[in-house]
Amino acid sequence: MSVVSHELRTPLTSIKGALRLLGSGAMGDFDAQAKSVLDIAERNTETLLLIVNDILDLEKIRAGKMRLEKSDVDLVSFLNDVVEMNTGYGAEFQVDFDFSTRLDTAMARLAPERMMQVFANLLSNAAKYSPTNDTVRVGLEDDGEYWQVSVTDRGPGIPESARETVFESFGQVQNTDGKTRKGTGLGMAIARKIVLAHGGEIDFESEPGHGTTFYVRLRKPHLEADLGQGDTETASYPMLPSKDL
Amino acid sequence: MAELKRILHVDDDEDIRVIANMALEMVGNLEVLQCGSGREATEKAADFAPDLFLLDYMMPEMDGEQTLRALRNLPGLQYVPVIFMTARVQADIADGLRREGALEVITKPFDPMELANQIREVWSSRPVVQLRQAV
- The per-residue pLDDT for range B48-98, each reduced to its tens digit, is 999 999 999 989 889 999 999 999 999 999 999 999 998 865 667 888 888
Q: Do A26 and B26 touch (CB under 8 A)?
A: yes
Of B89, B92, B111, the CB nearest to A20: B111
Structure ipTM: 0.74
The neighbouring-strand residues paired with A16 are: none
List the domain boundaries for chain A: 2-63, 68-236
List the domain boundaries for chain B: 6-123
Of B23, B88, B91, the CB nearest to A6: B88
Of A9, A26, A67, the CB nearest to B109: A9
What stretches of chain A show up as alpha helix (H) in DSSP?
Answer: 2-23, 32-62, 75-92, 112-129, 187-197
* Residue B85 CB coordination number (10 Å): 24
Measuring CA to CA, how many Å separate B50 from each of A129, A239, B6, B77, B132?
Answer: 52, 47, 5, 8, 22
Listed residue (A198, A174, A172) closest to A47, CA to CA:
A172
Report the C-alpha gap between A6 and A68 in whole angstroms: 21
The pTM score is: 0.67
Q: Do A21 and B19 touch (CB under 8 A)?
A: yes
| A120: DSSP letter | H
Name the helix (H) or strand (E) containing B34: strand B31-35
Residues 26-85 of B with CB under 8 A from A: 26-27
Contacts of B17 in chain A (CB under 8 A): none
Q: Does B108 touch chain A (CB under 8 A)?
A: yes
- The per-residue pLDDT for range A115-170, each reduced to its tens digit, is 999 999 999 999 999 999 999 999 999 999 999 999 999 999 988 888 778 888 76
Listed residue (A127, A122, A128, A126) closest to A179, CA to CA:
A128
- The per-residue pLDDT for range A106-125, each reduced to its tens digit, is 999 999 988 999 999 999 99
Report the C-alpha gap between A78 and A189 in whole angstroms: 22
Please say whether the structural domain A68-236 has been given the CATH code 3.40.50.300.
Answer: no
CA distance A77 to chain B (A): 26
- The per-residue pLDDT for range A2-11, each reduced to its tens digit, is 566 667 888 8
Report the C-alpha gap between A185 and A178 in whole angstroms: 17
Report the C-alpha gap between A81 and A148 in whole angstroms: 17
Q: What is the mean pLDDT of chain A?
A: 83
Q: Is A232 exposed, middle or buried (0-12, 13-18, 19+ CB in 10 A)?
A: exposed
For residue A200, the one-letter residue type is: G
For residue A144, what pLDDT is reported?
A: 92
DSSP codes joined into one string, A61-116: HHTT-EEEE-EEEEHHHHHHHHHHHHHHHHHHTTEEEEEEES-S--EEEE-HHHHH
Report the C-alpha gap between A44 and B12 in whole angstroms: 26
Q: Do B22 and A14 touch (CB under 8 A)?
A: no
Q: Do B113 and A20 touch (CB under 8 A)?
A: yes
Residue B45, classed as helix, strand or coil, is helix
Q: Do B108 and A10 touch (CB under 8 A)?
A: yes
Residue B52, classed as helix, strand or coil, is strand
Q: What is the mean pLDDT of residues B37-42?
A: 97
Determine phi and psi for B42, rounding to 5 degrees.
-70, -25
Q: Do B22 and A26 touch (CB under 8 A)?
A: yes
Contacts of B87 in chain A (CB under 8 A): 6, 9-10, 13
For residue A125, the one-letter residue type is: N
Listed residue (B92, B76, B94, B74) closest to B84, CA to CA:
B94
Q: What is the mean pLDDT of residues A13-35?
A: 90
Report the C-alpha gap between B36 and B74 in whole angstroms: 18
CATH homologous superfamily for the domain B6-123:
Response regulator (3.40.50.2300)
Contacts of B56 in chain A (CB under 8 A): none
For residue A240, what pLDDT is reported?
A: 33
